[in-house]
Structure 1
Amino acid sequence: MNVKQFLSSFNYIVSLPDGVEKLKEISFFLAATGALLSDDSGVDARPLLDSIREQKAIHPEQRKVVPPQTKLSPSEVRAPKHWAPCRIGDLVLTITGGGTPSKSNPAYWGGDIPWASVKDLRDEKYLKETEDFITRDGLLNSSTNLIPPGRVIVSTRMGLGKIVINEIETTINQDLKALELPVEVDSDFFYILYRTRIIKGTGTTVSGIKQRQLMALPAALPSIEEQKQIVEKTNELTVLCDKLKAQQKERTRLAKLARSATLNALSNAENSMELEVALSRVNAHMEIILDDVESLADLEKCLIKLAVQGLLHISTDESPSLGKIKEACLTLKSEYRENGWLRTRKSISPSTYDMNVYPSHWGVLPLDEVVVITGGITKGHKLKGKEVRSFQYLSVANVQRGFFDLTSVKYINVPVEHVDKYSLESGDLLITEGGDWDKVGRTAIWKGEIRDCLHQNHVFKARSSSPLLMKEWVELVLNSAVGRDYFAGASKQTTNLASINMTQLRKFPLPIPPTSEQIEIVQKVKYLISIIQKLKAQQQALNDVATMLSSAAVKSITGVQTEVQSKMKVPKTELVSNLRIGVSPANSERAALAAILIRNNGELSAKNLWQASGLEIDAFYQKLKTEMARGWIVQPEPADVREVEAS
C-alpha cells in the first residue's frame, strides 16, 4: 500500500479498532520520511550536521555531550536524497539524567520545584506541569538536575517511547532523560522523528533502552525550512485525527445509549404487546447490537429474563402440579430429619420482594417448599478422637454461574459420621452464599464431576426429588436477572461484597410453570444461547481480523510490524493415543485429571479427558504436565495427530 492507496482507504482505516491512533502513527511516519512534502527536491541538509558537530566540540558541558555516532548509509533510512542521513545522537547536543530525592525524608518533598516522572508524560505534546514537587534541599541532595524550558524529555525505561517538549523549569526522575537540541533541529520536528523511531522498535523490553542504543537509532535531517513545513502539515493532520476521534467517541456514546434503551425496553416488557414493540426496536437497532460483544451478552440476559417470565413460549394453560412437588419435598425433608441432616424449621412465606409478573396459570412458591436446602461443612472443626477421611470440597470459587471451575479443588478432613450429610449427588444445585455483590447466588447443577465430593458452608446445597420440577429450570431462574435482582435486594452488602443467609434463600419466590412448559423454556433458552454464542464468536473474529488489517495497513506504509496479541485457541488436532492412570494419588493431593481417569476405569483419550475436565485448553495442558511429572498419569506413547476439519 502506497500513500495514494492509503488515502483511498482512509475512511475504512479510520473505522477500524484504534484506527485514529493508527492514522496518527502513519502520519508521523510519512512526515519523518518526507512523504508529506509536495516537492522531493530541496536544500542539501548535510551542512547542518557539520554545524551541530562544531557546536558539540566547543560545548561548555562536555561531560553531557553526545559523542559522535557511527556513520549511517542512505540505504538504512527512508528519506529524500537531499536530507542528511544520521542517527538520533547526531541531532542531540547533550543528555541530562534525573534522580529521585529520598522518599523517607519529608524535608525533600512538597516544595516549589516541579519534579517530573513518567506519569507526567501523558499523551500531551508539551510538559506544562507536574504532579509532584521537591524542595531546594531535595534538589541538592539527589542526582536530579534542573531542566530549562525548551529541552525535550524522553522516557528510557518505564513508559518507553513517551516524549514531551518541556515548557517549564523542572527536575526529572531516573527514568527520564532531557535532550538539548541545537538550533538546526526544530523541537517539534524532533518530536515527530523520535516517535517514529521508537515506534519502529528497538528490540527492547519493559526494562527500557540503553542510552547508546537510543542515540544509535537511525534518522534523517531535512533543512530548517522543510522541518517547519513538516511540522505544520503534521499539526493539521493531528487536529483532523483529534476531530475524528471526538466524533467516534460521540458516535460510540450515542450507539451505547441506543443499545441500552433498546435492551432495557426488551428486558422490562411485561406482556406480549410490550414484547412485540420492544422486539421491533431490537430489530431496528440490530446492526449496532450485533456489532458489540458486550451488547450480545446483554441481549442474552434479556432473553433469559423474558423466558423465565414466560414471554418466549406458547402457554399451555395447564396448572403446575404444585401439590405433588411440595409433597415430594416434604418426604425428602423427613428422610433428612431421620438421618439427622436437617432440623425442624418453621414454614415461611415467599419474599414480597419479587415484583415480576408471571403467567396467571403459573404458581409461585418459596424455594424451601420445593427443594431441601442445607449448608455445607465448616472448616476448623475439632477432629481429635474422631475417625476422619480426606475429601475434595467445593468452595465459592468453584461454583460459577451455570458451570463449575474445577481448576483448583481443595481437600478437607471430615469426620466419617458427617460425610453423607455433606456429600454431593448428581443433580444437586449448588448456590453461592456470598462474593462480589453481583455474583452472590451463583447456581450450577452438579453432575458428578468429582467422585466423593463435599461442599463448604459458604455454598448451599439444594436437592429435589420431584420429576415435576426440572433442576435446569431452577438453575435458569436463579441465574437469571430475576434471581440476581432478588439476591441484590435481599443480601447483606458491604462496600464490595454481599451475602445471603439460609432464610433469605429459603424465601426465594420461585415461579413454577407446568412441567411441559419448563421443558420447552429450558430448550428454547439453550437454543437462543447457542445462537448468541456463535454471534459472539463471529464478532470477536471480525474484531481480530479488523485489528490485523489495521496493523497491516500500518506495516504496508511504514514497514513496522505491530504486534497483535492472540488468544489461546482450541487446537484443530485430536490426540488419539490414550492417557492412563499411573501411581494413584493420595486423597490430600490435588489430582483432578487423575481422579477423572480413576472414575473412567483408569483410561481416557486426551481429548475426552480435556472435555471431562472442563478446563481451558492451556490450563488443561499445564495441569496434565504437572500430574504426569508426579507419576499420577502415565506418559503416553507418541500421539497420533489427526487433523480435524475446520467448520
Structure 2
Amino acid sequence: MDAAEFLEKFDTFADLPRAAEKLRVLVLHYAAAGRLCRPDESDESIVETFPDLADDVEENAGRPGITFGRIGDWRGGGTPRKSEASYWGGEIPWVSPKDMKSVVIDDAQDRITQQAIDNSSAKLIPEGSLLMVVRGMILARSWPVATTSREVAINQDMKAVTLRHPELLPFVLLVLRAMEPTVLRLVKRSSHGTCKLKTQTLQKLWIPLPPLAEQRRIVAAVERLTALCDRLEAEHAERDARGAALARAATARFAADPTPETLETLFHESFDVSAADLRTSVLSLAAQGHLVPQDSSEGDANVRLAELEDSGGNPNVRRRVPKVAGSDEAAEGKTKALPANWALRSTASLLHLGALTDLKDGNHGANHPKVSEFSGDGLPFITAAQVSNHGGIDYDGAYKVGDAVLKRLRVGFAEPNDVIYTHKGSVGRVAICDRRCVLSPQTTYYRVDNSTLTSDFLHIFLQSPSFTEQVDNVKRQTTRDFVAISKQYSFQLHIPPLAEQRRIVAKADALLALIDRLETQQTAARDLAARTLDAAVAALVR
C-alpha cells in the first residue's frame, strides 16, 4: 500500500477517538516497513550511491540495510563540574533527557562554555547528528530520539550518532521513531529501578536502507501524512472545545433542573462529561437542598432538634464528646445558604441532642485484636480495606473475631443501619452496615436517631462536597491520611426535615443509578470505538 491508498483508507477511522495519535504511529510503521511508497526500479541502489557502505550493507528479508552501530560515529556525553562556575552559562546547549521534547534540538535548558568542552568529558556533537536517551526513567514509557540543528553537548544519559552520510539522516530518524516499541522492550532496569539501554544492544538494531531517492519520497510522504494528522488533531480539539462548551451548558441545566431527562442529555456522544463529576453534582445538590423542592408541610428540622433538647437530649453521650464544637459559630453564615427549614449542627451538638445516638471507632492499643486471634468464624472485623468506594462492605473477605476475643472488646461494635466512615488509611469511603460487625481503628460508625436523621441521607451527605471539603481542610493540616474522632466532632452536618430526607434519598438513588447505567453504555461505546480503531489499524498494517 502506498501513500495514496493509505489516504483512501483514512476516512474509515479518522473520526474515532485518538485517531491522530494512532495514525502517526501507523505512518511511521509504514515508512520503516517500506510500504508507504512503491519501489522504482530506476532508482540507484544505496550501495551505488554510497560505495563505501558496500561491506556493511546486508539484506534482511529481501531489503538492504545496515546495523545501527555501523551507520556512523557514536559518542557519549558527560557533565562538567557543577562547582566550576566558568563552565556554565555559556552558548553551547548541554542536552539532557529533559530537553528531548521534539525531533529537532536547537537549544537546551542548560548551557555550557567552550572552557567546559576543553576541560571535561562533555564534547561537541556536530550539527546534523542523531541524539537518543539511553538512561533515565523516561525509558519506562518512551524512547526520545532527535536530530541536532546546531552543535551541542550532551550529558551521560544520552548517546549521539553522527552518520557517515548526512543524506540518510531524515529517513533513519523516521525508522528509529518507528522502532520505539521494539527498543522499549530492550530496556533494562537496575536494582534501584533506573532504566537503561545498553549501547551494544542498540548497535545491533537493523536499519533498512532503500535507495536514497526512495528514502526521500518516503520522507516527503510522511511529512504530508503527518500534516494531515496535525490537521485532524486540530479539528478534534476544536470539536472537543465545542463539546465542552455544550457540556457546561447542559451541566448548568441539570443543576437547575436535576431530572433524568436533563441528566441523559449529558451523555450525548459529543460531550465528554465525567460520570464521577455528575455523581458529585448529584450529591452536592442533595446536601444543599437543591435536589427536590421544599414543602413547608413537612416541618422544620430546627424545631425537631429543639424538641430533642427540651426532652433532655442524649443521656448516653460519650464523656469525651465536647458540648460545643469550635466551628459551630463559624457555621452560622453557612446556614443562610440552606433552606430555612433545614438545620446545621456540628456532629458533637447532634450527639448531645440525640439526633446522632453514637459515634465511635474500633479498639486501640492492647484491646486491638491481634492477627493470631482472628478465626474462621465470628463477627467480621471491618478495616478501611473492606469498605469499597461504591458503598459496599466486604464482610466475607474480612477477618473474623470469635467469642473469646469479643468478650475483651469494649467498643467498636457496629450495628445494622449504622453508617460506616473510613477515617484512616483511605479516608472518605462510606457505607451502610447491614449486620453486626467489629470495627478497626480505621473506621467509624455514625448511629442515627431514625426519627430525626435517616442513615440513607447521612450516607449521601458524608459523600457530598459539603462534608468532604471539611475533611480535606483537616487533612491539609497533617501529612497523614487520617481524620481523628476528635476532629470529626467539629464537622457540620446538614439536617433537612425527615420527610424531605426520604424524598432526597429516593431521587438521588434514582439519578445515581441512571448515571451508573449511562456510564456503562458510554464505556461500552468507547471500548467499541477503540476496538474499531485497532481493527482498522491492524487491517492496514497487514
- State the TM-score bracket (shorter-chain normalisation): 0.7 to 0.9
Instruction: Return the alpha-carbon distance in structure 2 between the equivalents of residues 421 and 95 of structure 1.
Output: 70
Quote the residue 2:44 is aligned against.
44
Q: Equivalences for 1:592-607 in 2 at 5 Å?
A: none
Quote the residue 2:432 is aligned against.
445
Q: Deviations over 1:185-209 (max 9, x none)?
A: 3322221122223445674235554
1:551 aligns with 2:534: yes
C-alpha deviation, 1:241, in angstroms = 1.9
Q: 1:519 to 1:126 in 2, by over 3 A?
A: same
Q: 1:138 to 1:91 in 2, by over 3 A?
A: same
Quote the residue 2:450 is aligned against.
466
Helix, strand or coil at the partner of 2:243: helix
Q: Equivalences for 1:452-601 in 2 at 5 Å?
A: 452-455=438-441, 461-467=445-451, 469-484=453-468, 505=489, 508-515=492-499, 517-558=500-541
Deviates more, 1:125-134 or 1:181-190: 181-190
Q: 1:544 to 1:138 in 2, by over 3 A?
A: farther
Quote the residue 1:175 is aligned against.
157
C-alpha deviation, 1:522, in angstroms = 2.4
C-alpha deviation, 1:38, in angstroms = 6.5
Q: 1:200 to 1:376 in 2, by over 3 A?
A: closer
Instruction: Return the alpha-carbon distance in structure 1 between the equivalents of residues 344 and 19 of structure 2.
Output: 54
Instruction: Return the alpha-carbon distance in structure 1 between the equivalents of residues 175 and 217 of structure 2.
Output: 14
Q: Equivalences for 1:66-215 in 2 at 5 Å?
A: 71-75=58-62, 77=63, 85-89=64-68, 92-101=71-80, 105-106=83-84, 110-112=88-90, 113-122=92-101, 124-134=102-112, 139=117, 143-158=121-136, 159=139, 161-183=143-165, 185-199=167-181, 203-206=185-188, 207-215=195-203
Is the CA contact 2:3–2:36 (under 8 Å) kept in the aligned structure 1?
Answer: no
Instruction: Return the alpha-carbon distance in structure 2 between the equivalents of residues 208 and 319 of structure 1.
Output: 69
Q: Deviations over 1:33-89 (max 9, x none)?
A: 4544477443131434752337xxxxxxxxxxxxx65832443x5xxxxxxx11243
| 2:511 partner letter | L
| 2:169 partner letter | S
Q: 1:543 to 1:288 in 2, by over 3 A?
A: closer
Quote the residue 2:276 is aligned against.
297
Q: 1:532 to 1:69 in 2, by over 3 A?
A: farther
Is the CA contact 1:255–1:288 (under 8 Å) kept in the aligned structure 2?
Answer: no
Helix, strand or coil at the partner of 1:335: coil
C-alpha deviation, 1:421, in angstroms = 4.5
Deviates more, 1:136-145 or 1:297-306: 136-145
C-alpha deviation, 1:214, in angstroms = 3.1
Quote the residue 2:316 is aligned against.
335
The runs of 5 or more residues in structure 1 that have no matched partner are: 55-67, 78-84, 270-274, 560-647
Quote the residue 2:217 is aligned against.
229
Is the CA contact 2:393–2:433 (under 8 Å) kept in the aligned structure 1?
Answer: no
Is the CA contact 2:76–2:159 (under 8 Å) kept in the aligned structure 1?
Answer: yes
Quote the residue 1:622 is aligned against.
none
| 2:418 partner letter | D
Q: Deviations over 1:333-386 (max 9, x none)?
A: 21236xxx456725967743145454x7x542525141146465796x7x7xxx
Aligned-pair identity in percent equals 24
- TM-score where L is the length of structure 2: 0.75
Number of residue-to-residue matches in the alignment? 505
Instruction: Return the alpha-carbon distance in structure 1 between the equivalents of residues 389 and 495 of structure 2.
Output: 19
Instruction: Return the alpha-carbon distance in structure 2 between the equivalents of residues 494 and 395 of structure 1.
Output: 24
Q: 1:227 to 1:90 in 2, by over 3 A?
A: farther
Is the CA contact 2:321–2:489 (under 8 Å) kept in the aligned structure 1?
Answer: no
Quote the residue 1:82 is aligned against.
none
Q: 1:344 to 1:305 in 2, by over 3 A?
A: closer
Is the CA contact 1:156–1:175 (under 8 Å) kept in the aligned structure 2?
Answer: yes
Q: 1:296 to 1:343 in 2, by over 3 A?
A: closer
Quote the residue 2:13 is aligned against.
13
C-alpha deviation, 1:504, in angstroms = 7.8
| 1:125 partner letter | V
Helix, strand or coil at the partner of 1:336: coil
Instruction: Return the alpha-carbon distance in structure 2 between the equivalents of residues 532 and 508 of structure 1.
Output: 28
| 1:353 partner letter | K
Q: Deviations over 1:528-585 (max 9, x none)?
A: 32332233233333333433433343333335xxxxxxxxxxxxxxxxxxxxxxxxxx
Instruction: Return the alpha-carbon distance in structure 1 between the equivalents of residues 2 and 165 of structure 2.
Output: 33
| 1:114 partner letter | P
Helix, strand or coil at the partner of 1:238: helix
Q: Deviations over 1:380-407 (max 9, x none)?
A: x7x7xxxx56369878787776647889
1:427 aligns with 2:417: yes
| 1:189 partner letter | F
Instruction: Return the alpha-carbon distance in structure 1 between the equivalents of residues 522 and 107 of structure 2.
Output: 42
Quote the residue 1:259 is aligned against.
247
| 2:230 partner letter | D
- TM-score where L is the length of structure 1: 0.64
Is the CA contact 2:68–2:207 (under 8 Å) kept in the aligned structure 1?
Answer: no
Instruction: Return the alpha-carbon distance in structure 1 between the equivalents of residues 357 and 332 of structure 2.
Output: 17
| 2:238 partner letter | E
Quote the residue 2:377 is aligned against.
none
Helix, strand or coil at the partner of 1:42: coil
Instruction: Return the alpha-carbon distance in structure 1 between the equivalents of residues 476 and 368 of structure 2.
Output: 36
| 2:167 partner letter | V
1:371 aligns with 2:353: no
1:29 aligns with 2:13: no
C-alpha deviation, 1:166, in angstroms = 0.8
Quote the residue 1:53 is aligned against.
53
C-alpha deviation, 1:179, in angstroms = 1.5
The runs of 5 or more residues in structure 2 that have no matched partner are: 189-194, 372-380
Larger relative contact order (Cα-Cα within 8 Å, sequence gap ≥ 6) = 2
Quote the residue 2:191 is aligned against.
none
Quote the residue 2:192 is aligned against.
none
Is the CA contact 1:320–1:512 (under 8 Å) kept in the aligned structure 2?
Answer: no
Instruction: Return the alpha-carbon distance in structure 1 between the equivalents of residues 36 and 390 of structure 2.
Output: 57
Q: Deviations over 1:7-27 (max 9, x none)?
A: 344234333333212212222
Q: Deviations over 1:398-441 (max 9, x none)?
A: 777664788999x9xxx999953454434333456699xxx976
Q: 1:281 to 1:319 in 2, by over 3 A?
A: closer
Helix, strand or coil at the partner of 1:287: coil
Q: 1:243 to 1:549 in 2, by over 3 A?
A: same
Is the CA contact 1:427–1:445 (under 8 Å) kept in the aligned structure 2?
Answer: yes
Helix, strand or coil at the partner of 1:185: helix
C-alpha deviation, 1:520, in angstroms = 4.5
| 1:463 partner letter | R
Helix, strand or coil at the partner of 1:148: coil
Helix, strand or coil at the partner of 1:455: coil
Is the CA contact 2:56–2:70 (under 8 Å) kept in the aligned structure 1?
Answer: no
Is the CA contact 1:394–1:455 (under 8 Å) kept in the aligned structure 2?
Answer: no
